[in-house]
Amino acid sequence: MKKKSGSRIVRVVVSIINIPYWFDWERTKSFTSFLGSIFRRLFMVEKEEIDDENANPALTESFETAQKELKLSDEDLLVRQKALYRLSLLMSTLAFAILIYSGYHLFFGTFRAALISLIVMMIALALAFRYHFWYYQIKHRKLGCSLDEWLKKGFLRAKE
């Protein structure tokens, strides 16, 4: 029989006061490393070699080939372009109205309703961005536009 080192009182106290066990140290450590890897993947760009079969169709396909593939005429594109512009204006107006509504809730102290209103406003702004980005791509007849290009030439309407 092997004799254990240390006094019996120390072993009892250490088994009762086990701080790493209380904090579930192993699980906490693995969860924080998981979160760290997600943030690294989210904020760091990884360069990948793009094969022809795995390439993004929006980057390799021209606007004219997509137009022919979808069998869209110029009149159809003009109608869709106007509809997307109207939708982006509608969503922007709706987002502004929801912002005023959330201000109303903040004024009267209903903070949860104000928070929910702000979240709905962000969704409306995301939809407004989406529709305006599609409008920009149809207007300039270019697929795979960058956000910088859309912001400078499409949204802020800077001179080319």
**How does pLDDT run along the chain (160 residues), one tens digit per residue?**
566 666 888 878 877 887 777 778 889 899 999 998 888 887 776 666 655 566 665 556 787 888 888 888 888 888 998 999 999 999 999 999 999 999 999 998 889 999 999 999 999 999 999 999 889 888 888 888 888 888 887 767 755 5
Q: What is the pLDDT of residue 16?
A: 81
Euclidean distance between CA atoms 119 and 102, whole angstroms = 10
pLDDT of 5 = 65
Burial of 99 (0-12, 13-18, 19+ CB in 10 A): middle
pLDDT at residue 62 in the model: 80
Predicted confidence at residue 54, as pLDDT, reads: 60
Residue 48's SS3 state is coil
Residue with tokens 């995301």: 126
Which residues fall within 8 angstroms of residue 118, CB to CB, at 6 or more apart?
A: 98, 99, 102
Give the C-alpha separation, 130 to 117, whole Å: 20
Task: Give the whole-angstrom CA distance, residue 106 versus residue 158.
Answer: 36
Q: In 10 A of CB 37, how many CB atoms? A: 10
Alpha carbons 91 and 102: distance in angstroms, whole number: 16
Amino acid 53: pLDDT: 60
Rounded CA-CA distance 62/87 in Å is: 25
